[in-house]
Structure 1
Amino acid sequence: MTSQESSETTVVTIDVLVAKNLITSGHRYLDVRTEEEFKKGHVDVENILNIPYMFNTPEGRVKNPEFLELVSAKCSKDDHLLIGCQTGVRSLYASADLLKADYKHVTNMGGGYAAWVENGFSVKKPELNTSSDKTS
C-alpha cells in the first residue's frame, strides 16, 4: 500500500490483490476510464459503475467537467469506493478529487485494469458477433 499526498488529501493506493478482496467485501468499483475503454472490457464485478474522469477529444484528453456531479448522483459520500482506470494514473487524480469533495472512503487501485488482467482476474468483455462467420 502506498499513498500520494497533496496539500489537502492523501490518496491510498492498493494493489489489485487487495482491491479484489475489498470488492468482495462490499466496496463499490468505480471505473473512471472512457466509455469506449470500458466497453472493450472491464473488471467483472457486480457493483461496478463507469463514470469517465477524462474524455478523448481531437485536441487530446480533457477532464470531464461533470465528473463529481455524476458520481454524487450515483454514490453517497459515505460509500466505500474503489477507483480504477487503465493503469492507475487517472484513478489517482479522480481519487484525489473525490477526497477533496469530502468523499470519506476512497481507495485507488494501483496498476488499474491492466494489472487486474495481468493477474488473471475475471473480466467482462463484449460478446463477439458470430453472425459474420455464417455463410449464406
Structure 2
Amino acid sequence: MERTVDVQVAKDLLEKGRLCLDVRTVEEYNKGHVENALNVPYVFFTPEGQVKNPDFLAQVTSILKKEDHIVVNCNRGGRGLRACVDLLNAGFEHVNNMGGGYSAWVDSGFAGEKPPEELKIACKFRGSLS
C-alpha cells in the first residue's frame, strides 16, 4: 500500500539513503528538483491535456529495482500518488509519496540555491495539474 509522507519525513528518508523519483515533466524538473532525484515523467502536457507516459513503468524499471526504497514526488502530490499506485501494482515494494510534492519542498526551504519565489511562480502556472 502506498504511504504518503509529509515533506519533512520525505527529507529525512532521503537523507537516510532512499532514492528520489521525480515524476514531473522534464521541463518542470529542469526548473528545480530535489538533489540527486531521478526524473521519469508520469504524464506529458499536450494541447489536449495530460497524457500518461506509456513507457513510465518500463523507464522506471530500467533505472530502479523493485526492492529499492523510493520517495516519489511531483509538483503537488497528485501525479506522485498515481505513480506510486502504478509502481506498487507493478511489484515495487517500498514506495512513499511526498505529500505536497516539490511545491511543499520549496515552501519548506529545502530547495537550496534556487530562489523559492521563482519556483513557486512556476508551480502556480500549473494550476490544478499537480
Q: Distance in 1 between matches of 2:64 and 2:112?
A: 23
Matching residue of 2:3: 12
Q: In the alignment, is residue 115 of structure 1 matched against residue 109 of structure 2?
A: no
Per the normalisation by structure 2, the TM-score is 0.85
The Cα offsets for residues 67-96 of structure 1, whole Å up to 9 and x where unpaired, read as: 000000000000001000000000000000
Per the normalisation by structure 1, the TM-score is 0.81
Q: Distance in 2 between matches of 1:94 and 1:69?
A: 13
RMSD of the TM alignment (CA)? Answer: 1.0
41, 49, 53: which one aligns with 2:32: 41
Give secondary structure in 2 for the equivalent of 1:42: coil
Matching residue of 1:25: 16
Q: Percent identity?
A: 54
Give secondary structure in 2 for the equivalent of 1:20: helix
Higher helix share: 2
Q: In the alignment, is residue 106 of structure 1 matched against residue 95 of structure 2?
A: yes
Residue 42 of structure 1: how far off its partner (Å): 1.0
Identify unmatched segments of 5+ residues in structure 2.
Answer: 115-130
Whichever of the two has the greater Rg, that structure is 1
| Alpha carbons 2:32, 2:111 under 8 Å: kept | no
Identify unmatched segments of 5+ residues in structure 1.
Answer: 1-9, 126-136
4+ runs deviating over 4 angstroms: none
Change in Cα spacing, 1:22 to 1:97, as seen in structure 2 (3 Å) is same
Name the aligned partner's letter for residue 118 of structure 1.
D
Higher strand share: 1
| Alpha carbons 1:78, 1:104 under 8 Å: kept | yes
Q: In the alignment, is residue 64 of structure 1 matched against residue 53 of structure 2?
A: yes
41, 66, 76: which one aligns with 1:77: 66
| Alpha carbons 1:41, 1:123 under 8 Å: kept | no
Residue 123 of structure 1: how far off its partner (Å): 3.9
